[in-house]
């Protein structure tokens, strides 16, 4: 009995602290061969200061769906992009919304919001790295956001201008699609016209790269100890 109680106490000690884990990982980039070289494929994901047909500057937010089976605390969100103007970006637009259908329904100004702290968050951009043979940079933001178990849309859109070719693009993954494919909205005007990026040449769309890290809360030691006491009465 003493050994059993000691083992139970050890388990409770481990359970009393949350553990940092990868909560969602879709960073298996899709390698595409072009001119004999492996490159990534994707589309723009940026919030420019202005919109112009001449410069090509635009505001397009890619949004991926994720699922959490238990309550979580999100502490880091990362996407993988092609090196370019994104490497000079210091902020991004972050939006996390409840998923209630195959497309988000909120208007574009819910994502392109210039209020610092509400939508604009600081980001870090890594040095170039290679994932699945694709050269990329990791764009990350840190936060402390508690979420209930369920389905969510997450959008992290770096704030920078388009620049010159080759442009920074948000890379797609090698599949399979989990849940719904990535959706996008163009925010140069206020609208709710969500669409599926790269539906051509990939009918039905694809998932874009995203990784979510954080903590999984655990039951309080007291309540668990109460259950143990009732067992051994």
Question: Phi/psi class of residue 84: alpha, beta or left (left: φ > 0; alpha: ψ in -120 to 50)?
Answer: left
Q: Is 103 strand, coil or helix?
A: coil
* pLDDT score of 14: 36
Between residues 106 and 3, which one has the greater pLDDT? 106
Question: 1 pLDDT exceeds 60?
Answer: no
Q: Residue 134 and residue 110: Cα distance in Å, rounded?
A: 32
pLDDT one-digit tens code per residue, 53-101: 888 999 999 999 999 999 999 999 999 999 999 999 999 999 999 999 9
pLDDT one-digit tens code per residue, 185-221: 999 999 999 999 999 999 999 999 999 999 998 766 5
Q: Which residues contact 158 (CB under 8 A, 6 or more apart)?
A: 45, 46, 47, 81, 86, 89, 91, 92, 123, 125, 139, 168
Q: Is 10 strand, coil or helix?
A: helix
* pLDDT score of 4: 40
Q: Is 211 strand, coil or helix?
A: strand
Between residues 230 and 18, which one has the greater pLDDT? 18
Q: Which residues contact 206 (CB under 8 A, 6 or more apart)?
A: 30, 172, 173, 175, 177, 181, 182, 198
* pLDDT score of 144: 97
Q: Residue 214 and residue 225: Cα distance in Å, rounded?
A: 26
pLDDT one-digit tens code per residue, 134-161: 999 999 999 999 999 999 999 999 999 9
For the chain, the domains span 18-218
Give the DSSP letter of residue 175: -
Q: What phi, psi does 202 have (nearest 5°)?
A: -115, 90
Percent of the chain with pLDDT over 70: 85
Q: If you write DSSP's letter for every residue of 15-67 in order, what string do you get?
A: HTS-EEEEEEEE--B-EEEETTEEEE-EE--EE-SS--TTT---EEEEEEEEE
**Across residues 124-131, what is the average pLDDT?**
97
Residue positions counted in the chain: 233
Question: 12 pLDDT exceeds 80?
Answer: no
Q: What is the pTM of this model?
A: 0.86
């Amino acid at each position: 009995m003493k050994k059993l109680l000691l083992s139970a106490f050890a388990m409770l000690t481990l359970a009393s602290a949350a553990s940092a884990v990868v909560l969602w990982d879709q960073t298996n980039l899709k390698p595409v061969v072009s001119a004999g070289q492996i490159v990534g494929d994707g589309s723009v994901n940026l919030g420019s200061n202005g919109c112009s047909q001449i410069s090509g500057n635009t505001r397009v937010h890619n949004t991926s769906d994720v699922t959490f089976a238990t309550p979580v605390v999100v502490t880091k969100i990362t996407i993988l992009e092609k090196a370019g103007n994104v490497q000079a970006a210091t902020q991004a637009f972050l939006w996390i919304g409840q998923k209630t259908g195959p497309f988000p329904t909120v208007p574009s100004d819910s994502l392109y919001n210039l209020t610092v702290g509400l939508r604009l968050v600081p980001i870090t951009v890594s040095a170039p790295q290679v994932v699945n043979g694709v050269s990329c940079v990791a764009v990350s933001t840190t936060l402390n956001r508690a979420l209930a178990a369920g389905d969510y849309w997450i959008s992290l859109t770096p704030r920078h201008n388009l620049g010159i070719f080759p442009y920074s693009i948000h890379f797609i993954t090698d599949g399979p699609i989990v849940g719904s494919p990535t959706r996008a909205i163009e925010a140069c005007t206020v609208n709710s016209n969500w669409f599926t990026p790269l539906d051509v040449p990939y009918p039905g769309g694809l998932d874009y790269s995203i990784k979510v890290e954080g903590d999984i809360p655990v039951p309080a030691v007291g309540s668990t100890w109460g259950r143990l006491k009732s067992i051994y009465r």
